[in-house]
Amino acid sequence: MKKGLFFLVPLALLFIFLGASAPYLKAPLALSIDGEEIYRGEIKIEPSRKMRAEKYGGYLPFYNKLRARYEAKEALNYISRGLGDFLSSECERRKTDPLSATLEWTKKLSSPFIYYEERAGSEVPLDEIGRAAMKSLDEGRAADARSRAVPPLLSLCDLKRRTRLMGKFSTSFYTSGTSRRHNISLAEEAINGTVLLPGERFSFNESVGARTAERGYLEANIVLNGAFVKGVGGGVCQVSTTLYNAVLLSGLPVTKAAAHSCPVSYVSPSRDCTVSSTIDFSFENDTDFPLYVASEIRDGTITFALYGDKKEGEFSLESEIVRRVPFSRVTADGKKAPIGAKVLSEGREGIESRLFLIRKINGVSEKKEIRANYYPPKNAICEEIPSSESICIGRKNALTPW
């Protein structure tokens, strides 16, 4: 019996040794964040950890040494099991995310945006509260960690700077007929409110769509081979021309633009921009921020305004007539008309013109030619039989409101 007990004693000691938890020392810790206490009590620290801390001159120097190799959470858990997890959860619980300034796009020229201010966030860096905990262990008294503000990615000031007026242009169609006014309004409504993200391209034909009777467009004068004839969608080119000038005055790159086959009355030569089912007008947003397109029709005037990250300097346009080309007086079969022949169709002189974009920065102007055009003359058609009722002199500057 005694012999059996002799063998049981080592087994019991082995069981106690294996089942017992590792020995710990207790250390007082009092910690707060922004004056609010989050912990007051004792934490368990293994003797070997305490010895290493004493070797480095305290828990804070020991923690700093560990931070050279480990993340804050790992270093804190090494010093006291679970400490890093607890403090990390406290940091997350107190964290608030920042909110950037935002806007509401009203699509109105008078007040295009409604702005909402940013809100800073708040965070307590785990490393910050970890150092405070080590200081408490070293000094045996309460330590306080401070939270810090986290700025938003976009402030209200920055947002307003990136949504400034870049360019604006207006043309009048006050004398236009009802059908032409209607077409202009339809096309303008299709474009108003457009937002182009950085790098995106605007296409007039894609945005406005086909100008057909089925889509509500009416017949009005259009330009066809230098002459004015009735066509569905007449007047839409005034919309594209107005937008084209606003784009140029914003300093944005135009990728497609074409002139009419004759001058128009609502802009100077080389400032027009025709569109059709086969001719498009397009431009790009080459800035790093969204581009907003707003438009308005009021009192027979159409206006386009572009808002975004305004480019440096001020832009202006200068139209130059290089030369005027006189028209001829001919009969219906193309022969030279006799002096005194009656006018059947008035003539119009041709124009060769250029357009310059001027950019002024700090008082210094840079002038760049961006296009050159030739609008051929339209001959006056006269009767072959002389008449005293009208002399075939044509009309020198007959511009149409197309």
Residue 206 and residue 267 in one domain: yes
Measured CA to CA, the distance from residue 82 to residue 44 in angstroms comes to 10
Measured CA to CA, the distance from residue 344 to residue 330 in angstroms comes to 10
Residue 197 and residue 306 in one domain: yes
**Domain presence at residue 327:** yes
**Domain presence at residue 86:** yes
Residue 27 and residue 126 in one domain: yes
**End of a domain among 100, 123, 157?**
157
What does each of the 402 residues of the chain score in pLDDT, given as a tens digit? 454 544 454 444 434 333 444 578 999 999 999 999 999 999 999 999 999 999 999 999 999 999 999 999 999 999 999 999 999 999 999 999 999 999 999 999 989 999 999 999 999 999 999 999 999 999 999 999 999 999 999 999 999 999 999 999 999 999 999 999 999 999 999 999 999 999 999 999 999 999 999 999 999 888 776 667 788 999 999 999 999 999 999 999 999 999 998 899 999 999 999 999 999 999 999 999 999 999 999 999 999 999 999 999 999 999 999 999 999 999 988 888 888 888 998 899 999 999 999 999 999 999 999 999 999 999 998 988 654 444 444 444 444 444
**Domain presence at residue 144:** yes
Residue 260 and residue 194 in one domain: yes
Residues of the domain holding 122: 21-157
Residue 285 and residue 310 in one domain: yes
**Domain presence at residue 393:** no
Residue 70 and residue 212 in one domain: no
**End of a domain among 139, 157, 175?**
157
Give the residue among 271, 217, 218, 223 at the shortest CA–CA distance from 244.
Answer: 271
What's this model's pTM, rounded to 2 decimal places? 0.79
SS3 270: coil
Residue 187 and residue 170 in one domain: yes
**Domain presence at residue 399:** no
Structural domains counted in the chain: 2
SS3 140: coil
Residue 150 and residue 112 in one domain: yes
Alpha helices in 140-235 (DSSP H): 156-161, 178-191, 204-208
Residue 121 and residue 234 in one domain: no
Measured CA to CA, the distance from residue 147 to residue 213 in angstroms comes to 65
With tokens 């360019």, the residue in question is: 167
**Domain presence at residue 273:** yes
Q: Is 382 exposed, middle or buried (0-12, 13-18, 19+ CB in 10 A)?
A: buried
Q: Is 56 exposed, middle or buried (0-12, 13-18, 19+ CB in 10 A)?
A: middle
Residue 76 and residue 110 in one domain: yes
Residue 343 and residue 356 in one domain: yes
**Domain presence at residue 34:** yes
**End of a domain among 130, 157, 184?**
157
Name residues whose C-beta falls within 8 Å of residue 310's C-beta, 6 or more positions apart in sequence. 164, 165, 166, 250
**Domain presence at residue 10:** no
Residue 200 and residue 104 in one domain: no
